[in-house]
Amino acid sequence: MRKTFQLRPEGKNPDRVLEAIKHEIRKYLKRERSRALPTGVDYWDFNCKFGPSEAAAVPARVGELIALIDALVKEEGTQFYIEILSCHGQRQAPPTTTKHLTHGE
C-alpha cells in the first residue's frame, strides 16, 4: 500500500474520514497477515514509511502508525503519505549468555 490520504476532504466530517482511514489501514494489515506463508518463513513483517508527503516520509514501525496519524491530526495536518510493504519475517533466537554470576559480583 502506497497512498496519500486527505484528512479534510470538502463536504465530509473529518472525524469520520479519520476513522475510515484507520479502518482501511487495519483492514490492509489484516488481509496481508492472513495470506499463506511461503516455506521457511515464520511471519509477515512490514516495512513502513510515514510522513506529511511522499518526499518527507521516514521509516516507521507498523505498531506506531495509528499513533503517528493521531499526532499529525493534533498538529492540524491536512494530509499524510503512508507506505506499507509486506516482507518475509524470520524469528531470531534470543542471544544466550555464557557468563554465570556469582555472589561476589
Q: What is the pLDDT of residue 93?
A: 78
Contact indicator for 90, 42 with CB cutoff of 8 Å = yes
Cell (9 digits) for 1? 500500500
Contact indicator for 17, 69 with CB cutoff of 8 Å = no
Closest CA to 33 of 19, 61, 42: 42
Please name the helix (run of DSSP H) or strand (run of DSSP E) that holds residue 82, with its range, or none: strand 79-89
Residue 51 has phi, psi (to 5 degrees) of 180, 170
Q: What is the pLDDT of residue 104?
A: 58
Q: What is the pLDDT of residue 62?
A: 95
Q: For the chain, which residues make up each domain, given as ranges?
A: 2-89
Q: What is the pLDDT of residue 64?
A: 96
Q: What is the pLDDT of residue 90?
A: 83
The pLDDT profile of the chain, 105 residues, written as one tens digit per residue, is 999 999 999 999 999 999 999 999 999 999 999 999 999 899 999 999 999 999 999 999 999 999 999 999 999 999 999 999 999 888 887 877 766 666 655
